[in-house]
């Protein structure tokens, strides 16, 4: 009851105080209920930490705690992590890493503050997600086919100019229908396998949602194409851009299609194949 007619002062949590009374109710409500501020840290775990289920242990606890980021085995025998979430969850997560799963022997956990990157999952990095293939194909126009194995099908793009290792160059990639896993993966009378290998999913968003949302980051382990790449949809249609990410496998100023035209299977170029030699 408001018998006095005088608005009653309602105590509010400090974060909400500035909003109420100055904004419409909906806006104030959003302000008061927004997610807690996230923190991020890079973590390096040393000890007997490979081959003991450490990455699965980290992923399971991260998901339980609402921590996002990634974990990967490093070549030096350590486990590296990027973890972001509420400060309390990060503390709990770090304490769990100091213990590790049964069978692990953790000798040290090193922490460094990091930038919050906006991860939407906690992923195990550095694991194979499937195969990729790049064919050079003489159809009505010459082009390259890029195919990535995703959920039992080959997601496919046509690249008019092919891929590049130069991060400054964006290459047009036109999405085409998915192919079956065993369809058009080999050489034929009109196509060579220009490169192939395994790939890792990357980025902040789980796959295939990342592709559905039009921005997918991945790491290729081919003979010619190596390191991080991104496929970015440019609009509502089939048009995407394929971009090499700036990493140790980038080759600024290079033209890998011109420099290494031959098939990784037969050693023949598409010109030689078409000439019947
Ligand atoms: Mn094609």
* Tens-place pLDDT, residues 167-220: 999 999 999 999 888 777 789 999 999 999 999 999 999 999 999 999 999 999
73 is catalytic: yes
Total number of domains constituting the chain: 2
Expressed in angstroms and rounded, the spacing between residue 233 Cα and the centre of ligand 1 is 19
Task: State the chain's mean pLDDT as an integer.
Answer: 89
Give distance in angstroms: CA of 252 to centre of ligand 1: 27
Whether the full predicted model's pTM is greater than 0.85, yes or no, is: no
Same domain as 188, residue 65: no
Instruction: Output DSSP code: residue 160.
Output: S
pLDDT of residue 36: 66
Is 140 in the same domain as 115? no
Tell me the pLDDT tens digit for each residue of 32-67. 455 568 999 999 999 999 999 999 999 999 999 999
Q: 249 and 160 in one domain?
A: yes
Q: What percent of the chain has pLDDT over 90?
A: 81
- Domain match, 197 and 258 both: yes
158 CA from centroid of ligand 1 (Å): 6
Which of 38, 41, 59, 73 does the annotation list as catalytic? 73
- Asked whether the predicted pLDDT for residue 143 surpasses 80, the reply is yes
- Among 124, 147, 182, which residue terminates a domain? 124
Q: Are residues 212 and 78 in the same domain?
A: no
Is residue 231 situated within a structural domain? yes
- Same structural domain, 138 and 175: yes
Q: Domain end: 101, 124, 147, which one?
A: 124
Q: Quick one: DSSP state of residue 275? A: H
Q: How far is the CA of 173 from the centre of ligand 1 (A)?
A: 12
Query: Do both 100 and 84 map to the same domain?
Result: yes
Q: Is-catalytic flag, 128?
A: no
């Amino acid at each position: 009851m408001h018998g006095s007619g005088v608005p009653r002062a309602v105590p509010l949590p400090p974060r909400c105080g500035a909003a109420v009374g100055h904004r419409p109710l909906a806006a104030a409500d959003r302000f008061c209920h927004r997610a807690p501020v996230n923190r991020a840290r890079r973590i390096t775990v040393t000890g007997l930490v490979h081959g003991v289920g450490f990455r699965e242990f980290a992923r399971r606890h991260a998901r339980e705690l609402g921590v996002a980021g990634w974990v990967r085995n490093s070549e030096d025998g350590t486990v590296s992590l990027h973890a972001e979430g509420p400060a309390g969850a990060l503390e709990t997560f770090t304490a769990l890493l100091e213990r590790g799963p049964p069978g692990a022997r953790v000798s040290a956990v090193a922490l460094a503050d990091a930038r919050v990157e906006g991860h939407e999952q906690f992923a195990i990095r550095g694991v194979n997600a499937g195969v990729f293939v790049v064919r050079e194909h003489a159809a009505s126009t010459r082009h390259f086919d890029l195919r990535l194995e995703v959920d039992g099908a080959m997601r496919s793009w046509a690249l008019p100019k092919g891929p590049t290792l130069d991060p400054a160059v964006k290459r047009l990639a036109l999405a085409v229908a998915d192919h079956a896993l065993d369809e058009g993966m080999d050489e034929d009378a009109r196509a060579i396998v220009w490169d192939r290998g395994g790939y890792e999913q990357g980025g902040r968003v789980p796959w295939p949602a990342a592709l559905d949302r039009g921005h997918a980051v991945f790491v290729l382990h081919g003979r010619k194409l190596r390191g991080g790449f991104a496929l970015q949809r440019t609009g509502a249609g089939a048009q995407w851009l394929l971009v090499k990410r700036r990493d140790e496998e980038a080759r600024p100023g290079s033209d890998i299609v011109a420099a290494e035209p031959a098939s990784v299977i037969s050693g023949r170029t598409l010109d030689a194949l078409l000439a019947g030699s």
